[in-house]
Structure 1
């Protein structure tokens, strides 16, 4: 299949190396004969391909992303493929300056400022905003099937009760906005103290912004109050930031719960560390 994709896109490839930390697509970093590097990305499903294709069309000129150089719609064997430019940097880390954290806030707020396009029919990106509570519930209970198989029954029952309790305490949703659904450091590329853009749009929706802060806080913002403050200032410079303290209890809890289900779906052994982290987080949130 890889050879077919390379042929379809007419790539003069010298070398290919698979990107190991890609969880929803097969991704290769490719060196071309002219010395440039590009990324070849093959989503796992047709729906993920269509979402990402529409995302690049919607975000172009509004938010910093890799350039979509070419794509192939695929066939019965291949869901489709993208050829993307390289953002010449590294994933966001705690080593960045407050200036970079400010830029992350700006980047996310620019994305959240994007509304569903008027008069354009989308077949990949769903607008879930009008039924946001139902969407969140469907996600939770879809993962609950896997979670039930691997956690203590008492812990599982307690989690179900907690979900119903916290869901009823959520404020009115903020949107409809373009939400990434996986806005975390690995998907934010920086060069020293400059944010270059964001990547990976297989899970995007139009929905409530409240869902998009959890992973960034989990993996980045909670460790340094200075970076957290800078992020908030950057976000507020573009649009008002919601009251995160009002939504974090629900979304941090559901993130831990859903991540346990994700580990079961994708393989417990190869995701053992992530599974243990989220089991510990779930127990903590249920104390």
Structure 2
């Protein structure tokens, strides 16, 4: 299938390497004979392909993203593929300046400020905002079927009860906005103390922004209060930021629980480290509740 995609795009390559930290697509970094780097991306499903395609159309000119050089709608064997330009740099780490954190805030807020297109009919990206509570519940209980096979029955029961209790205490949803659903350091590219842009749009929705801070907090903001402060300042230069202290406790719990289910679906042995991290987070949250 990869050879057919390469042929479809007419690529003449010097080298090709698979990108490891991609969970919903197969991605290859390709060096062309003229020295330029491009990326070939093959989503796992047609729906993920359609979401990504619509995202490039909606975000272009509004948010820093790779350039969509070409795309292929696929066939009965391939869900579709993209040819993307390279965003120069490396994934975000905690070892950055407050300037970078400020720009991450601007990037995030600029994405959340994107509204549903008035004239374009979307077939991949859904608007979940009006039924946000139901959407969150559906996602949670879908993963719960997998979590049940991993957690101790008492912890599982405690988790279900905590979810229902905390969900009722959430404030009104903030939005609708363009929600990335996987806004984490691996998907934020940084170079020379500046943010180059954001990648990977297989899971996006229009919905409440409240869900979209969780992974960034888990893997970046929680490590340094000065970076957290700079991020907030950058975000609020574009749009108001909700009170994260109110929503983060629920979504940190939600993320840990659903991530356990994700590991079960994608393979416990393959994702053992991530599974252990989230089991520890979940147990800590439940103990403190």
TM interval, short-chain normalised: over 0.9
Give 2:195's aligned residue.
Answer: 195
Contact 1:187–1:199 under 8 Å retained in 2: yes
Matches within 5 A, 1:220-239: 220-239=220-239
* CA distance in structure 2 between the aligned counterparts of 1:176 and 1:88, rounded to whole angstroms: 31
CA drift of 1:263 comes to 0.1
Give 1:93's aligned residue.
Answer: 93
Give 1:126's aligned residue.
Answer: 126
Deviations 1:133-160 (Å, cap 9, x if unpaired)? Answer: 0000000000000000111000000000
Paired residue secondary structure (2:126): coil
* CA distance in structure 2 between the aligned counterparts of 1:122 and 1:11, rounded to whole angstroms: 30
Give 2:10's aligned residue.
Answer: 10
Contact 1:49–1:80 under 8 Å retained in 2: yes
Give 1:22's aligned residue.
Answer: 22
* CA distance in structure 2 between the aligned counterparts of 1:6 and 1:223, rounded to whole angstroms: 41
Paired residue secondary structure (1:210): helix
* CA distance in structure 2 between the aligned counterparts of 1:101 and 1:132, rounded to whole angstroms: 28
Contact 1:96–1:192 under 8 Å retained in 2: no
1:245 correspondence with 2:245: yes
CA drift of 1:15 comes to 1.2
1:51 correspondence with 2:51: yes
Matches within 5 A, 1:156-171: 156-171=156-171
Deviations 1:7-60 (Å, cap 9, x if unpaired)? Answer: 111111221100111111000000111110000000000000000000000000
Contact 1:128–1:135 under 8 Å retained in 2: yes
Give 1:282's aligned residue.
Answer: 282
Paired residue secondary structure (1:150): coil
Q: How many residues align?
A: 287
* CA distance in structure 2 between the aligned counterparts of 1:81 and 1:116, rounded to whole angstroms: 24
1:178 correspondence with 2:178: yes
Paired residue secondary structure (1:138): helix
1:114 correspondence with 2:83: no
Paired residue secondary structure (2:216): helix
* CA distance in structure 1 between the aligned counterparts of 2:182 and 2:161, rounded to whole angstroms: 26
Paired residue secondary structure (2:182): coil
* CA distance in structure 2 between the aligned counterparts of 1:100 and 1:237, rounded to whole angstroms: 14
Paired residue secondary structure (2:222): helix
CA drift of 1:192 comes to 2.8
Deviations 1:74-93 (Å, cap 9, x if unpaired)? Answer: 00110100000001100001
Paired residue secondary structure (2:121): coil
Give 2:261's aligned residue.
Answer: 261
Q: Which runs of 5+ in 2 are unaligned?
A: none
CA drift of 1:119 comes to 2.1
CA drift of 1:95 comes to 1.2
* Superposition TM-score, scaled by structure 2 size: 0.99
* CA distance in structure 1 between the aligned counterparts of 2:24 and 2:85, rounded to whole angstroms: 19
Deviations 1:92-137 (Å, cap 9, x if unpaired)? Answer: 0111100000000000000000111112100000000000000000
* Superposition TM-score, scaled by structure 1 size: 0.99
* CA distance in structure 1 between the aligned counterparts of 2:12 and 2:51, rounded to whole angstroms: 27
* CA distance in structure 2 between the aligned counterparts of 1:28 and 1:120, rounded to whole angstroms: 30
Paired residue secondary structure (1:65): coil
Report runs of 4+ in structure 1 exceeding 3 Å deviation. none
* CA distance in structure 1 between the aligned counterparts of 2:283 and 2:95, rounded to whole angstroms: 30
